[in-house]
Amino acid sequence: MVDKSLELFDCGHRACGGCGPAIAARLILKGAGKDTIVVSSTGCMEVFSSPYPETAWKVPWIHSLFENAAAVASGVEASLKKQGRSEKVVIIGGDGATFDIGMLCISGAFERGHDFTYICYDNEAYMNTGIQRSGATPYAASTTTSPAGRCSTGNKRPKKDMPQILAAHGAPYVATASVSYPADFMQKVEKAVNTKGPCYIQVHAPCATGWGFEGNLTMKMGKLAVETGLCVLYEMVDGKVTRVKKVVRKPVEEYLSTQKRFRHLFKPARKDAEIAQIQAIADFNAEKYGIDIKLKKEPAK
C-alpha cells in the first residue's frame, strides 16, 4: 500500500510556483517508499532540488551527468546486488535526458536487464535551459528553437513514442501516468519498483513557465491532456497493454487554446489545418488504445 503521508521531498526547493515536476517528485517518493536510492540526470528537477549546499531529497540521491543516469544506476544496482542489499533504485530524468541525450545509456541498461525503475517526467521541452524543443515536444508547439512566426507553425515533428521503444527492449513493466491523477501514478510507481527488471514510467508533468499558463492550473492542464486523448494513460506488462484509462473525449482545442505555446494556432488567424492535424493525433491515440467511452445515448445509425 502507498503511504500518502510519507514526505521524502522537502520544502524549500526552488521550483516555480505550481511546478508539475515538483509534484511528480513528491508522488514518486510516496510510491517508492523510504528504501529508495534516486539517481537523477541533469534537468529542471535536478537543478531546483539541489543547489549546493542544499538538497530537497531525504533519500540517498546522486547526480552525475546529463546522459549517464541509466549507467550510474546500473552500477548502483550491481553494487547493491553484490552486497546482498534490497534498496530500490529509481532513476528520475526529464524528457530531454530520456528521449534525446540519455538514449544510448538507457538502451544499454534496459538491454542488460538491471533491476531498476526509470521514471521520465515529461514536460515536453528543455525547460531548465530556456524552453528548447526536445524529442518529446508535441506537434506545432512553439519553443525557443522551434519558434512560431510568419514562416513556421512551431515544432514540425510529432512526439517520439518512448514507452513503445522501451517495451521493445523487453521491459517487464512500462506505464504512462500523469501528475493530475496522483493515486494512479503512485500505484504505478509502487508496482514498478516491486517488479524485477528494468521498468519504465513516463509521467506527464505540465510546466507552467514553459507551456505558458498560470501555476494554479497545472492539475487542470494535465487532466485536459488526458481528456483530449493527447496523453494516454496505460500500463504494459511484458509488452502487452493491460490497462488503459478511458475518457469521454473533449476536442483538442480546449487543451490548446489555454496555453501560450499554442497561441499562434488561434491568433492572429485561426490555423484550422494545424488544429485538425493535432485532432488527428488524438483520434489515432484513441483508436490505437481504445480510450473512448461509448455513451449510451449515442444516436442509432
Under the rule (CB under 8 A), what is the footprint of other proteins?
4-5, 7, 9-20, 22-23, 26-27, 49-50, 52-59, 182, 214-220
Least distance in angstroms from the C-beta of 31 to other proteins: 12
**d(Cα 254, Cα 229) in Å, to the nearest integer?**
12
DSSP 60-86: -EEE--SS-HHHHHHHHHHHHHHHT--
Q: Residue 239: which region, alpha, beta or left (left: phi > 0; alpha: psi -120 to 50)? A: left
**Between residues 212 and 215, which has the closer beta carbon with respect to other proteins?**
215
The residue type of 126 is Y
All cell numbers assigned to 284: 489515432
Q: Which is nearer to other proteins, 19 or 89 (CB)?
A: 19
Nearer to other proteins, 163 or 222 (CB): 222
- Give the separation between CA 41 and CA 50, rounded to whole angstroms: 12
Q: Which residue matches cell numbers 480510450?
A: 291
CB nearer other proteins, residue 65 or residue 244: 65
Closer CB to other proteins, residue 19 or residue 90? 19
Question: From the CB of 22, what's the least distance to other proteins, in Å?
Answer: 4
Beta bridge partners of 201: 119, 175
Q: Which of 31, 50, 52 is nearest to 40 (CA)?
A: 50
